[in-house]
Amino acid sequence: MYTPPAFREDDPQELHAIMRAARLSTLVTATDAGLMATPLPFILDETEGEHGTLYGHLARANGQWNTPATGEALVIFAGPDAYVTPSWYAAKREHGKVVPTWNYTAVHAHGPVEFFEDEERLLEAVTRLTRLHEEERTAPWAVSDAPPPFIRSQLKGIVGVRIPVTRLEGKRKLSQNRSAEDRAGVAEGLAQSENAGDRAIAGMIPRS
């Protein structure tokens, strides 16, 4: 990922926060047959390994899991994003030498990918992922709410994914290369948008 110094994010806590907030990511593997990619939710285990370990699962019918990968896998976590019009810049009124751009946050996680079929490991991975996304609900659903034979039959249709992260690349492109006046204009403009992603970016733009 191309990351100019002004936009580079190296803080592990910030990187993990972006990964957790992304919810749905994209698993990419390079193979002799070409690139293969699958949108997947992952759970990040921050206690396992130097940079954490990712767990998820994909459909057994998905050929990505049994097509040997060449080199490490890449998981792309995309955070909020927003179009930035130059009309919001104070510089537009001063000299007009401005162009549109896009603000966003993203993390690229690299690591060797392991696909596993063991039923107990699959059950644990599915249970943890379900708990993560159900825990804030008033009446959370649990894997154990379904009949065990049904769950076992469902597990036969998936394959687990484990990626011990060896390297993280983070980017927070939030108008840091603009003047304080330009950043204030962008934040104000985005804050008035009806788009939730625009408003999220508005709150991230540094003011000083």
- Tens digits of per-residue pLDDT, 34-90? 999 999 999 999 999 999 999 999 999 999 999 999 999 999 999 999 999 999 999
201 found inside a domain: no
167 found inside a domain: yes
pLDDT in tens, 166-188: 999 999 999 999 999 999 999 99
Length of the chain: 208
Q: pLDDT category, 94, cuts 50, 70, 90? A: confident
Q: Which of 113, 37, 36 is nearest to 78 (CA)?
A: 37
Q: State residue 91's pLDDT score.
A: 87
42 found inside a domain: yes
Q: How many distinct structural domains can be found in the chain? A: 1
The amino acid sitting at 132 is L
The domain that contains 25 carries what CATH number?
A: 2.30.110.10
How far apart CA 185 and CA 85 sit, in angstroms, is: 10
Q: State residue 157's pLDDT score.
A: 97
What percent of the chain is predicted at pLDDT more than 70? 100
Per-residue pLDDT, averaged over 96-103, amounts to: 92
pTM of this prediction?
0.93
145 found inside a domain: no
41 found inside a domain: yes
133 found inside a domain: no
Per-residue pLDDT, averaged over 18-34, amounts to: 96
Task: Quote the domain boundaries for residue 14.
Answer: 5-118+162-196
148 found inside a domain: no
26 found inside a domain: yes
Burial class (CB within 10 angstroms; exposed 0-12, middle 13-18, buried 19+) of 175:
buried
